[in-house]
């Protein structure tokens, strides 16, 4: 049986851990354990916020956010679309992957961007119609050394 022929939940279980995902909806309950019977620890209210899946149990995913907090969310609230979140101070989105490349935009901390591609030192992102390059270390949402095309 090919991976494409598997039911979606079975196909998703074949994905590596850890991996990055994003919040699909505008409101996600983060629970203390893998099930609706577990209490809600907090609620995430940022659509497209990147999360790292660090464990799985049936249809539940244990995730870590960019600040290191962990909890359990239902897989239906997540998407495989890759996003990153700007960390630290204001960052310059560059036209090319070079420190001296012209600026495309200034990105404030905690801005969420769609991840388009990643090389060894720079990643291409899109934020509200602007496309450009951010140096690794200026955002959270990719594994160390990960190449993304």
Q: Where are the domains of the chain?
A: 3-81, 84-140
Query: What CATH architecture is 84-140?
Result: Roll (2.30)
Q: Please determine whether the domains at 3-81 and 84-140 fall in the same fold group of CATH.
A: yes
Helix (H, G, I), strand (E, B) or coil at 62: strand
- Under DSSP, is residue 76 helix (H, G, I), strand (E, B) or coil? helix
Question: Can you tell me the distance from the alpha carbon of 91 to that of 18, in angstroms, rounded to the nearest whole number?
Answer: 27
Mean pLDDT of 121-147: 96
How many whole angstroms separate alpha carbon 30 and alpha carbon 44?
Answer: 7
Residue 78, pLDDT > 90, answer yes
Q: What is the pLDDT of residue 15?
A: 81
**3-81 fold:** SH3 type barrels. (2.30.30)
DSSP tag of 56 = E
- Across residues 122-144, what is the average pLDDT? 97
Tokens of 128: 């509200």
Whether 12 has a pLDDT exceeding 70, the answer reads no
Provide the whole-model pTM.
Answer: 0.88
Mean pLDDT of 16-29: 95
């Amino acid at each position: 049986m090919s991976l494409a022929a598997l039911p979606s939940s079975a196909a998703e279980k074949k994905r590596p851990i850890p991996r990055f995902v994003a919040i699909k909806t505008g409101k996600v309950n983060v629970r203390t354990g893998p099930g609706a019977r577990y209490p809600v620890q907090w609620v995430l209210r940022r659509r497209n916020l990147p999360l790292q899946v660090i464990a799985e149990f049936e249809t539940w995913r244990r995730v870590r956010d960019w600040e290191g907090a962990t909890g359990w969310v239902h897989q239906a609230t997540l998407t495989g679309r890759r996003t990153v979140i700007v960390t630290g101070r204001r960052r310059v989105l560059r036209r090319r992957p070079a420190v001296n490349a012209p600026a495309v935009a200034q990105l404030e901390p905690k801005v969420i961007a769609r991840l388009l591609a990643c090389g060894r030192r720079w990643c291409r992102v899109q934020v509200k119609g602007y496309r450009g390059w951010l140096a690794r270390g200026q955002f959270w949402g990719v594994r160390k050394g990960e190449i993304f095309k």
